[in-house]
Amino acid sequence: MATSAKWKSAHAAWACLQGTAPGYFNLYRDLGVIMSTSIIADIIGMCGTFSIVLAYFMIQLDKMDPKGVIYNLLNLVGAILLLISLCINFNLASFVIELFWIAASLVGLYKYFRKGRVQV
């Protein structure tokens, strides 16, 4: 096989792996979707923020028990989502506070299930 033929084969194989070869569907190329990792991290982080703020508002409106499982799960999920987003857009202070938030939520869930409460 000639050198140029080897190069073309290697290039075609690489294009297939990247999804950029003709005849292969590529979400970014074919649908025009341009979404960077940073934007995805921001979306994940905003979902986490929404979860934590929702839990707080529900407490303020007396719609949720602060020692209940739903409150602690909302906080835990929110903190985990924020932690995921912080792995991409790192901020040490925010990372540390989310670790404490996760620990507090886990303590709340442990206490809830240890008591065997049925009320949500």
15 shares a domain with 49: no
Inside any domain, residue 120: no
For position 2, what pLDDT does the model report? 55
Q: Is pLDDT above 80 for 112?
A: yes
Q: How far apart are CA 79 and CA 47, in angstroms?
A: 10
Q: Which domain holds residue 1?
A: 1-31
The residues, any chain, with a CB within 8 Å of residue 70's CB and separated by 6 or more, are 55, 64, 120
For position 72, what pLDDT does the model report? 97
101 shares a domain with 53: yes
Phi, psi (deg, nearest 5) at residue 117: -65, 145
Q: Compute the Cα dihedral for 57, 58, 61, 64 and give only its sign.
A: negative
Task: Dump pLDDT digits (tens) for 18-51.
Answer: 555 555 555 555 555 556 778 888 999 999 999 9
2 shares a domain with 56: no
41 shares a domain with 65: yes
- Residue 81's closest CA among 110, 111, 46? 46
Inside any domain, residue 13: yes
The DSSP H or E segment spanning 24 is: none
92 shares a domain with 66: yes
Q: Is pLDDT above 80 for 101?
A: yes
Mean model confidence pLDDT for the chain: 81
116: confidence class by pLDDT, cuts 50, 70, 90: confident
108 shares a domain with 49: yes
45 shares a domain with 63: yes
Q: Is pLDDT above 70 for 64?
A: yes
Tell me the HSE value of 118 on the side-chain side, using a 13 A CA sphere.
Answer: 0
91 shares a domain with 39: yes
Q: Please give the tally of structural domains in the chain.
A: 2
